[in-house]
Structure 1
Amino acid sequence: MLNSISLLAAVSKLDPTDYVGFTFFVGCMAMMAASAFFFLSLNQFDKKWRTSVLVSGLITFIAAVHYFYMRDYWASFGESPTFFRYVDWILTVPLMCLEFYLILKVAGAKQSLLWKMIFLSVIMLITGYIGETVDRPNAWLWGLVSGIAYFAIAYEIWLGEASKLAKAAGGNVLAAHKILCWFVLVGWAIYPLGYMMGTEGWYNSILPQGSIDVVYNIADAINKIGFGLVIYTLAVKSQKD
């Protein structure tokens, strides 16, 4: 009952021309719908792939909950909900790294690969948060560290151990791995762009400061739901083989 009242109150505060608020609202609904889809499809898969699809549902569910709060925050204060966004990312991005490990287990992926990617993702997010909120005068420096961690993840999946394991697995796993790699290289690249638009640094001569929430919201929906759909498709194809 209270959640329904909160939802109605937040929607009533949104201006019809508030496109940022609209993307928060649509993002919340899209993530929740994706979660329902992944969770309800679990029974059609065997144990081998059920965990991967479950993680996909958890990623979008966690995001949906945070978008619920971010939408309310935006409607109430008209400010970017940076704290809630980073709490969302610190939970969901490591889970996205987990997806790589889960699909590569068939080729002998070890937990060391998983922990390496999780460690890099946490460094990427913590330094990004510090740059955006705690030490904004040195945002360029924290952004540099965050960027290095991001490129380390990209290297690992494109050219490192994860890439070699995907090639060894071949078939559907290799095809899914390549698509996920493109999500990281292209889809995740939107976040550094949003970071530069929301902070001050030498890069403002190339990317002027502006609203970052629309960029982040669109990227989140594409990356998190898209990630899950790739895993779902892989599971379906593997069931048929």
Structure 2
Amino acid sequence: MQLDSNQWNLVYNVFSFGLVSMLACTIYTLVSQQRVLAKYRNALVMSSMVTFIAGYHYLRIFDSFKHASEGGKVLLDGSQNSFNEAYRYVDWLLTVPLLLVEVIAVLALAKEVSRSLITRLVPASAAMIALGYPGEISSDQNTQVMYGVLSTLPFIYILYVLFVELGKSLERQPAGVAETVGRLRLLLIATWGVYPIAYIFNIVGDASSSSFVTVQVGYTIADVLAKCVFGLTILKIARMKSMAEGMKDDH
């Protein structure tokens, strides 16, 4: 894949942006632990874990892109020195379940409700990522479509749990929390929507330099929104709930 200098620099800078965003968000959520009540700190710990894991994988993606590049040409042939897209799937396999658990943890629901939601959401999210990967690496269009459809099934189930089952648990939340969680779910769906679009683009699109750049930029922006902005919103919810339960604003 031959990229011109502007395309190569764009991908390079976007990967750099993704890496520093993840690292900065990790530090910020870690140092914000004392700003919320103890029972909400697990949610912030998971948020820090998500961005730390993503930051590590962006370091590997960044490094892989540099090693696969020579004079603007990026190797995508599956050889030892080619660009390794698998780092993204390893990242998603670890971080997507944690993102969903973050939401449940910050709401501090009854143990039975939390356990029920987690035991449904975590396996479904892992299945969604695991089923998408064979289609991502396959060059056969029928295989790509089959695994695309299969990975969509747990995605639809996750939507059902988030919007129907979790929605039932929001009625007893403090003022403003239910609305913020509603926006959080919409953010999750909007950013997750980028991934299947890029997946479909890989199936029907041509193997051009512009398509490679579009997919990489799209994935990275979606990752920053789905992990960093999501994590900061989790912090906001934890702060709102802590304040509603008597924590002083200057704590």
User: Which category of TM-score, normalised to the shorter sequence, fits these structures?
Assistant: 0.7 to 0.9
Equivalent residue number for residue 146 of structure 1: 151
Q: 1:131 aligns with which of 119, 135, 139?
A: 135
* TM-score, structure 2 as length reference: 0.81
Q: CA RMSD in A?
A: 2.2
Tell me by how many angstroms 1:107 deviates.
5.2
Aligned to 2:46: 55
2: CA distance, partners of 1:139 / 1:111:
34
Partner of 2:248: none
Instruction: Tell me, yes or no, if structure 1 residue 183 matches structure 2 residue 187.
Output: yes
1:12 is aligned to none
**1:148 is aligned with what amino acid?**
L
Whether 1:41 and 2:44 are equivalent positions in the alignment is no
Aligned to 1:3: none
CA distance in 2, matches of 1:86, 1:136: 19
Deviation at 1:170, TM superposition (A): 5.1
Structure 1 runs not aligned, ≥5 long:
1-14
Instruction: Give secondary structure in 1 for the equivalent of 2:211.
Output: coil
Corresponding residue for residue 86 of structure 1: 89
Query: Please, which of 14, 17, 20 is the counterpart of residue 29 of structure 1?
Result: 20
C-alpha spacing 1:150/1:158, structure 2 compared with 1 (3 Å): same
TM-score by length of 1: 0.84
Q: Is the 8 A contact 2:43 2:103 kept in 1?
A: no
- Amino acid of the structure 2 residue aligned with 1:169: Q
Residues of 2 paired with 1:220 and 1:68: CA distance? Answer: 14
Shift, 1:17, TM fit:
4.8
SS in structure 2 of the partner of residue 171 of structure 1: coil
Q: Verify: 1:225 aligned to 2:228, yes or no.
A: yes
Letter in 1 for 2:120: K
Residue correspondences, number: 221
**Would you say 1:235 and 2:238 are equivalent positions?**
yes
> What residue number does 1:97 align with?
100
Q: State the alpha-carbon separation in 2 of the partners of residues 60 and 22 from structure 1.
A: 18
State whether residues 174 and 241 of structure 2, in contact with CA within 8 Å, keep that contact through their aligned partners in structure 1: no
In structure 1, distance between residues paired with 2:160 and 2:106: 18
Alpha-carbon separation, structure 1, partners of 2:27 and 2:6: 28
Q: Which residue of 2 aligns with 1:210?
A: 211
2:122 corresponding residue in structure 1: 118
Identify if the C-alpha distance between structure 1 residues 117 and 135 changes in structure 2 by more than 3 Å, giving closer, same or farther.
farther
Q: CA deviation at 1:154?
A: 1.2
What residue number does 1:167 align with?
171
Write the letter of the residue equivalent to 1:157: L
My pick for the range that moved more, 150-159 or 171-180, is: 171-180
The residue type equivalent to 1:87 in the other structure is V
Aligned equivalent of 2:249: none
Q: Considering fraction of residues, name the structure with more helix.
A: 1
Which structure's relative contact order is higher, taking Cα pairs within 8 Å and 6+ residues apart?
A: 2
The amino acid of 2:234's aligned partner reads: I
